[in-house]
Chain A
Amino acid sequence: MIRRPFLAALALAGAATLLAGCASPSTGSGNGSTESPSETSATPVVEQTLTVFAAASLKDTFTELATEFEESHPGVTVSLNFAGSADLVSQVTEGAPADVVAFADEKNMAKLTDAGLIDGTPELFASNTLEIAVPPGNPQGITSFQDLAKPDAKVVICAAQVPCGSATVKIEEATGITLTPVSEESAVTDVLGKVSSGEADAGLVYVTDVEAAGDTVEGVTFPESSGAVNTYPIGVVAASTLPDLASEFSTLVTGADGQKILAAAGFAKP
């Protein structure tokens, strides 16, 4: 009779892990709300929270920009939500309370503008191209896009369903070189992880990913990358309760300060 409740508990544990496994990677890191707005000014300030949904590849730059925005706007807290662009689109469509959205490609923004969920026209603020990432020391001696087709090189790319993967397909079509990857990941971070851990000999990621990865990978640029450029749009959500603040944030990103921070991270002009 020990068995039954015990097994029931076991079944519960199983269900829990199944759920956890499916749910964990969906929303971005809980980097979000920092609950301490700067209160330097003597006049009473209105506490406001501006919610920004941004593509995962914007994590470092937008975190920096949010801090800058909070400093210049006393009483305002910027709450950041980073995830894959497609995830963010479905969150906004399902009614998540976002004020500003920034995506890694125009296709995802189009889903929101078509649905009338964006106020005005989104602005393009950056662009990103692909680069080959190799483990330190470049064990397979990859120096060009063509080298990725070497039979003994283990290459990891993004699946065609996600933005970095569709850029990869574009380059394959333009060059006529078909890659035979050992894995097609659903996120660019997974590609980078397989390269930095040395499991793969090369991976196709964004220029900014190589920049952000520091010493864990080396970058190999290739001229054909210009054939597939992802442009990043930013827009104010129509349902925003803080439209003025939202467009000020958007202006910061498209303005000189924002462009400087983005360029430092490896982003190109749109």
Chain B
Amino acid sequence: MPDTVRRPASRRPESRQRASRRATLGGIPAWVAAVAVVGALLIVVPIVSLATRVDWAHFGSLITSESSLAALALSLRTSVASTALCVILGVPLALVLARTSFPGKRILRALILLPLVLPPVVGGIALLAAFGRRGLLGAPLEVLGVTIAFSTVAVVLAQTFVALPFLVLSLEAALRAAGSRYEAVASTLGASPSTVFRRVTLPLVLPGLVTGAVLAFARALGEFGATLTFAGSLEGVTRTLPLEIYLQRETDPEAAVALALVLVLVAVIVMVATYGRREIR
């Protein structure tokens, strides 16, 4: 990513925003547009097909069973908690990556992005190695009477592990796009680094932070592999919605499909709220 100074996000040219409302090819070759349609269909067709499999007559009762509601409530609770954790840890991390320079920064960034490309089950095994009962940190914690395995805390940890890179990446991009000119001006006017952070940097990148937090929330909501490996699966404690879907599939495929659609709807709402709003504004 080029480290160029960009104008603040709020001052994007109006003409570009308007153009996206009319249907024009905008100068791209027709065949590119055609391939783009295929690409979009690859995503849309399976989602629409899922909706056709839903037993609509019983949809309500399928998604309001006791175990489904317990899973949904747990998923929402843990995803909110892990998003908060992502914001608390991710904002400083993004600032360090975007503003400071030190040897090994590229390597640090690559490491932080690892959960994006790792299979979640690998993340789960790594978390076990760290926080499991016999783990590097888990063993001393166990001596102190703190057990993480099989608890809701383990779910939040797993979700934060996979979601943190989403927040850090989008916030770092926003920080780079905003540039550091205003911060420099503020500090020459006598503002302390903390004041600059609070009064200049944060308000400037707030849209980027919101986007990052929403992405992190969505990723946390969908977390499956790391949770299954690291936290286990117990109703109301560690069995989140994706785990419930996976289990329901064994005996009650209709319930699994209905719950899957609920998860899709939540994801769609989240994505439209983030990206849809931006396109129209």
Contacts and interface: CB of A to CB of B under 8 A. Distances in A.
Interface residues on A, range: 35 or more
Contacts of A21: 119-120, 222-225, 242
Interface of B is mostly: helix
28 contacts: A2-B177, A3-B9, A6-B1, A6-B169, A7-B173, A14-B218, A14-B219, A18-B222, A18-B267, A20-B120, A21-B223, A22-B242, A154-B149, A159-B233, A161-B247, A181-B234, A182-B149, A182-B150, A183-B231, A183-B232, A184-B239, A185-B232, A186-B228, A190-B233, A198-B134, A199-B133, A199-B134, A199-B232
A156 interface: yes
Q: Which of A1, A21, A156 has the most CB of B within 10 A?
A: A21
Contact of B232 (A1, A18, A194): A194
A69 B247 CA distance: 35
A22 B224 contact: yes
Interface of B: 1-2, 6, 9, 12, 43, 116-117, 119-121, 128, 132-134, 149-150, 162, 166, 169-170, 173-174, 176-177, 208, 211, 215, 218-219, 222-225, 228-229, 231-235, 238-239, 242-243, 245-253, 267, 271, 275
Give the top 5 A-B pairs by smallest Cβ distance, nearest first. Answer: A183-B232, A182-B150, A21-B224, A18-B222, A161-B250
A14 B232 contact: no
A194 B149 CA distance: 10
A6 B233 CA distance: 35
B234 A184 contact: yes
Interface string A167-184: 000000000000001111
A24 B225 contact: yes
A90 interface: yes
Contacts of A24: 119, 121, 225
A14 B275 CA distance: 14
Nearest to A18: B222
A148 to B, nearest CB: 15
A190 B225 contact: no
A14 B166 contact: yes
A65 interface: no
A144 B119 CA distance: 38
A84 interface: yes
Given A2-B6, A6-B170, A162-B247, 17 more contacts: A1-B177, A7-B173, A11-B215, A14-B166, A17-B116, A18-B219, A21-B119, A21-B225, A22-B224, A22-B246, A25-B225, A161-B248, A182-B234, A183-B232, A193-B229, A199-B128, A199-B232
Contacts of A48: none
Interface string A131-162: 00000000000000000000000101001011
